[in-house]
Amino acid sequence: MADNVIRSISAGLFERAKSFWVTAMFSKAAIAVMGLAAAYFHDATTYLAMAILAFELIASLAFYRADQLKSEAEPILVRLDYEESMGWKIPESSKLDWVADFQEFEPLGARVRNAQPYFAQTGPTGVATLRKNILESALYTRTISKNARTVVFVLFALLLLTFLALLITGTFELLATPHEPAPALITDALIALVTIDLLPLALRYGELADAAMKLRRHLNPVTAMTESNIIPAVVEYQVSRANGPLLPTFSFLARRLPLAAIWSRYDTDETDENVSSNRGIV
């Protein structure tokens, strides 16, 4: 079975997961807009609260589905990492199982990848190639994780401002009519619940960026090219990548050079920021 099919299945799973991630993030943004509207249109507060509940349900289900698809794609990605870098062949039985379970995602992945290899081999398979490929993978992970953390923090700040605006509005309503319920305060409680889960998500992106930077610092110096030095660090990084949140690699996938192509143009001690600026990572 052609390895391109397996790579396309992996890419398709990630791509579909990212579409759910976007749905969840836009749902959160829509909640912020509705919360601000509730602060000004008091007569519509009840309807807006119902809409906020509906969009939060959409966001929760979308995040759940994105994580589910990512968890299916990560084991495939790890096996491909080792096959393309170390030459450790994936058993044909595993490939057949993946095709049977996830064949529907293969056309999507093929369109995204255009049948290009994930890694550009710069030498014979072995720990030196694994080091180069994983180092660049960590570069992308670090850059995109930091950008995703910024996006989530901005959305968190927007929802926090919405919460404060509704809190002020509801407090004035309660003071003006102390014997009547303040719908704005009820809606504000919903906004608080919607906002809370974004903070740990942003922190998880920060942890993933730190794990990728830890790997780059470990492997970038003069490290002995032995399996005992390289593979444990790679495994630790791959575990962090698998446990971390989904990376929204959109324009990155559309405009990237193959992974490891960077080694033909830059030295390993070049700063991450300079490399990122030359690769169009968003």
Task: Please give the average per-residue pLDDT across 169-184, as a whole number.
Answer: 66
Confidence bin at 267 (pLDDT 50/70/90): very low
Confidence bin at 121 (pLDDT 50/70/90): low
pLDDT of residue 6: 86
pTM for the whole thing?
0.77
pLDDT of residue 276: 40
Task: Please give the average per-residue pLDDT across 107-111, as a whole number.
Answer: 81
Distance CA 4, CA 248 (A): 22
Which of the pair, 226 or 279, is modelled with greater confidence?
226
Which of the pair, 160 or 253, is modelled with greater confidence?
160
Q: How many Cα atoms within 13 Å fall on the side-chain side of residue 156? A: 14
pLDDT digits (tens, 9 = 90+) for 67-76: 999 999 999 9
Greatest C-alpha distance within the chain: 78
Task: Please give the average per-residue pLDDT across 18-35, as a whole number.
Answer: 88
pLDDT of residue 159: 85
Task: Please give the average per-residue pLDDT across 21-35, as a whole number.
Answer: 88
Task: Please give the average per-residue pLDDT across 218-223, as a whole number.
Answer: 71
pLDDT of residue 176: 67
Among 63-67, 183-187, 264-268, name the most confident range: 63-67
- For residues 60 and 99, is the Cβ–Cβ distance under 8 A? no
Which residue type, as a one-letter code, is found at position 179?
H
Confidence bin at 180 (pLDDT 50/70/90): low
Q: What is the mean pLDDT of the chain?
A: 78
pLDDT of residue 260: 43
- Mark out the alpha helices in the chain (DSSP H runs): 3-40, 45-86, 92-102, 106-113, 127-176, 183-196, 198-219, 227-243, 251-255, 272-279
